[in-house]
Amino acid sequence: MSSVPERSEIEREYKWDVEDIYASDDAWEEAFEAVRERLDELSAYEGRVTESPETLLELLELQEDIMREVSKVASYASLRSAEDTRNQEYQALSTKAQSLASQASSAASFIEPELQELDESDVEEFVEEEPALAEYEHFFDDALRMKPHTRSAEVEELLAELGEVAGASSDIYNMLSNADMTFPTVENPEGEAVEISQGNFTKLQKHPNREFRREVYEQFYDEWEDVRNSVGTALKNSVKKDVKYARARNYDTAREAALDGPNVPVEVYDNLLETVRDNLDYLHRHAELKQEALDVDDLRMWDLYMSLTGEEGPEITYEEAKEYIIEAVAPLGEEYQERLAEGLESRWVDVYENRGKRSGAFSSGTYDTQPFIMMNYQDDIASMFTLAHELGHSMHSELAKEAQPWQYADYEIFVAEVASTVNETLLTHYLLENAEDDELRTHVLDEYLERFRSTLYRQTMFADFELQMHEISEEGGALTPDRLDEMYGDLKAEFYEPAETDDRIGREWMRIPHFYYNYYVYQYSTGISAAVAIVERILEEGEDAAADYREALALGGSKYPIEVLETAGVDMASPEPIESAVSVYGEYLDEIAELLDLE
């Protein structure tokens, strides 16, 4: 029987090095208590933020000292929790850490409201009197920019304290989908019993046997049907939370609030939806090519993940994936390449799926730790691309931490998804140019087309769904599971027009954790658009363009996202990068159609 192993069965070299943060749970407890006791130190400055330049500098340095330790405490607990969501001890640690983070935010919540009592000329005088404050000029600019949407210190403290419970819907969903839900076991065409999981569902949807794919599809979504009311309630309340927080900060809509945080114009979002919708014919052609390649009368939902080759791609072991990725990033410079290789050998990555492990993949870490990448590696091309993606995030963090002080080391997701997709795009170029195995080249091309489909088009579809949900809630409408099914099913039918939809696909929204992230998904689509433009420039211009890109990564959060990408040579305020990405998608469709002799 093919089953998911327990964590204890995974070899140490394939597990991340969480002990790099704290050597033991006892050490974590000591750190937790020590930093919790320090939170009161911040309150001594309440009412004194603008007392003098010296006082302001003391406070900002104290805040950094405390928050850096809070981040480490929270990171350790979060990573341990992700390892096995069934482990109640680590769930308790995670809950304690979330509470601490909320308390820390609350303790520091008076800083920006008081800072906003100053105007630009006041800030200039402070910096002149205390030159060390010059390091915080972008922070001051951002704080003053948000003045119309910042409440009194008392209200800000209350909103910060509510942060612990505001994430309840997401927490409930994650526990339900990762820890409590169990999926059926099915027999594959080889006679083996295969347990369906969140981690392997997509891989099973790529199996060459169509009847097996259909059975997996139906069994998987039927399991979600049994929890539709719970998941629907969680998502409804998550959306309501977004709306209420936006109104509390004097925004007209939740989308406006979400995009204003990183200072991204709402027009960027509208431009994405409009440009992608105007180019759905490319996605429709991709679907038609799949139908022809599979030689089926009707393309069904369980066919959408299938390769255009009509079969599973070659096996790519984790060790092989590492080698390919290291070679692929060579255009970014020798230092970048060596640092990435070193990270892969330093247990940055938690590689394989185990029972209870959180689904999906992510890159995490803090200013004072190494990066941590969580994966559920499946020995296939898709997993190799996911590894390249997450390494892009990790290297972004490494370059930003090295170049920036603590307050600017974090960066907005809008920029983060560019860094991850640049690595994917470089991997594609490398393999298409260097792979001697024709089968591998064909499957790499097909995989990149799938990345386009799932990143540019699918995430834009998600963004449309997210916008519709919030608009209904903002207008006082009811977000029932039936209505969510209908909305999602209509979008799926529009985006995948040549394919035949069914009732089960209307439930797909139930398995997407990103809908709890408050206008997050659109950044995958803008990210791939910017990444394609950046890689084309690097491959054409060489080291000068690569240096611009590295400089953009090193900026971290010291500039606004639109400005950061301008440093890399991309204007995301225009539709040009999206149109360019769509054009590349079309060119690759033409290439693979010719290779496989498809119309």
Four-point Cα dihedral 247, 251, 252, 258, nearest 10: -100
CA neighbor of 175 nearest in space, from 90, 98, 75, 91: 91
Is 46 part of any domain? yes
Q: For 454, which DSSP code?
A: I
How wide is the angle at C-alpha 458 spanned by C-alphas 457 and 459, nearest 5°? 95
Is 270 part of any domain? no
Three-class DSSP category at 364: strand
Distance CA 412, CA 409 (A): 10
CA neighbor of 555 nearest in space, from 373, 362, 440, 418: 418
Q: For 298, which DSSP code?
A: S
Q: Is 190 a catalytic residue?
A: no
If one counts every other C-beta atom within 10 angstroms of the C-beta of residue 174, the result is 19
Distance CA 481, CA 509 (A): 10
Amino acid in the structure at residue 294: L
Same domain, 79 and 206: no
Q: Which of 119, 137, 166 is the last residue of a domain?
A: 166
Q: Report if pTM > 0.95.
A: no
Distance CA 471, CA 26 (A): 47
Instruction: State residue 165's pLDDT score.
Output: 86
Is 271 part of any domain? no
Residues 6 or more apart whose Cβ sits within 8 Å of residue 525:
272, 276, 455, 456, 457, 459, 460, 463, 578
Is 276 part of any domain? no
Q: Which of 196, 226, 256 is the last residue of a domain?
A: 226
pLDDT 10s digits, 367-404: 999 999 999 999 999 899 999 999 999 999 999 999 99
Is 75 part of any domain? yes
Instruction: State residue 437's pLDDT score.
Output: 78
Instruction: State residue 24's pLDDT score.
Output: 96
Same domain, 125 and 60: yes
The segments of the chain whose pLDDT lies below 70 read 1-2
Two structure tokens written together for 364: 């995490």
Range of the domain at 196: 185-226
Same domain, 61 and 204: no
Are 344 and 327 within 8 A, CB to CB? no
User: Across the chain, which distance is largest between two alpha carbons, in Å?
Assistant: 77
Same domain, 19 and 130: yes
Task: Sheet containing 372-374: give its strands across.
Answer: 349-350, 372-374, 362-364
Same domain, 85 and 136: yes
Residues 6 or more apart whose Cβ sits within 8 Å of residue 448:
385, 424, 425, 428, 588
CA neighbor of 471 nearest in space, from 242, 150, 266: 242
Are 534 and 424 within 8 A, CB to CB? no
Kindly report the CATH number assigned to the domain that includes residue 36.
1.20.140.70
Find tokens 């995989």 and name the residue: 447
Same domain, 11 and 133: yes
pLDDT 10s digits, 17-41: 999 999 999 999 999 999 999 999 9
Ramachandran bin of 556, using left for φ above 0, alpha for ψ from -120 to 50, beta for the remaining angles: left
Same domain, 80 and 218: no
CA neighbor of 451 nearest in space, from 584, 318, 292, 324: 584
CA neighbor of 423 nearest in space, from 348, 326, 335: 326
Distance CA 278, CA 394 (A): 34
Same domain, 158 and 12: yes
Is 265 part of any domain? no
Same domain, 84 and 123: yes
Are 337 and 399 within 8 A, CB to CB? no
Is 593 part of any domain? no
Helix (H) or strand (E) holding 363: strand 362-364
CA neighbor of 303 nearest in space, from 441, 209, 191: 209
How wide is the angle at C-alpha 226 spanned by C-alphas 220 and 229, nearest 5°? 125
If one counts every other C-beta atom within 10 angstroms of the C-beta of residue 2, the result is 11
Distance CA 437, CA 352 (A): 26
Same domain, 102 and 199: no
Q: For 40, which DSSP code?
A: H
Distance CA 524, CA 517 (A): 13
Distance CA 167, CA 184 (A): 29
Are 52 and 117 within 8 A, CB to CB? no
Three-class DSSP category at 29: helix
Find tokens 């890109």 and name the residue: 549
CA neighbor of 418 nearest in space, from 393, 442, 452, 448: 393
CA distances to 17, 21, 66, 71, 96 from 80, rounded to whole Å, are 11, 11, 22, 14, 13
Instruction: State residue 244's pLDDT score.
Output: 96
Same domain, 11 and 77: yes
Distance CA 61, CA 317 (A): 46
Distance CA 185, CA 131 (A): 65
Overall domain count for the chain: 2
Distance CA 407, CA 214 (A): 50
Are 28 and 22 within 8 A, CB to CB? yes
Is 401 part of any domain? no
Which residues, listed in sequence order, are joined to residue 363 by a DSSP beta bridge? 373
Instruction: State residue 2's pLDDT score.
Output: 54
Kindly report the CATH number assigned to the domain that includes residue 200.
1.10.287
Length in residues, the chain: 599
Orientation of helix 88-107 relative to helix 53-83, angle to 10°: 170
Of 164, 390, 412, 474, which residue is the catalytic one?
390
Same domain, 129 and 26: yes
Distance CA 582, CA 577 (A): 9
